[in-house]
């Protein structure tokens, strides 16, 4: 949720604080922050057709979409078999800058992510791992954590 309910000691009343913008309001923002939010970790493998075929790991990504899919399938197998967690694997293998946080994208609501990613993420139950998901960024594995 973007808006937090806080207590003003000077006015002795509730106010609302937006963590993203730093804005404060006395009145509850209507319709904002009421949308369902989820939290996921993901692992991204980019390919040469990704919208930006480069990452913190590799300046020029040349692998094909098919190769990226095979890599993701291998990662999924390792996770499902209990060999490693998605978060551990994301730290070293994800092409997303969220790798440094174990692939954690934090909380988000609808309309914040690419449509295919969002649809897959919202369809998951907590602690459920997705099948490979294609987006303009590349191929993802998504783990819903909240």
Cα-Cα-Cα-Cα dihedral sign, residues 78, 83, 89, 92: negative
Residue 41 a catalytic site member: no
Among residues 94, 96, 130, 135, which one is catalytic? 96
Among residues 37, 101, 114, 116, which one is catalytic? 114
Among residues 55, 98, 135, 140, which one is catalytic? 140
Residue 42 a catalytic site member: yes
Residue 96 a catalytic site member: yes
Cα-Cα-Cα-Cα dihedral sign, residues 92, 93, 94, 95: positive
d(CA 27, CA 43): 39
Among residues 98, 130, 135, 137, which one is catalytic? 137
Q: Output the CA angle 97-132-45, nearest 5 degrees.
A: 30
d(CA 137, CA 42): 12
Among residues 41, 42, 50, 135, which one is catalytic? 42
Judge whether 146 and 38 are in contact, CB under 8 Å.
yes
Residue 87 a catalytic site member: no
Residue 140 a catalytic site member: yes
Catalytic residue positions, numbered: 42, 96, 114, 137, 140
């Amino acid at each position: 949720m973007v808006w937090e309910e806080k207590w003003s000691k000077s006015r002795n009343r509730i106010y609302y604080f937006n963590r993203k913008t730093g804005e404060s309001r006395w009145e509850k923002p209507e319709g904002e922050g009421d949308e369902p939010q989820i939290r996921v970790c993901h692992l991204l493998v980019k390919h040469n057709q990704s919208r930006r075929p480069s990452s913190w790991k590799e300046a020029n990504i040349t692998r094909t979409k098919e190769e990226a899919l095979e890599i993701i399938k291998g990662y999924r197998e390792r996770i499902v078999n209990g060999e490693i967690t998605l978060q551990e694997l994301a730290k070293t293998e994800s092409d997303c800058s969220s790798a440094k946080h174990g692939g954690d994208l934090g909380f988000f609501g609808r309309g914040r992510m690419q449509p295919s990613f969002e649809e897959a993420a919202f369809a998951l139950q907590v602690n459920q791992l997705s099948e490979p998901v294609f987006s303009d960024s590349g191929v993802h594995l998504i783990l819903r954590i909240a």
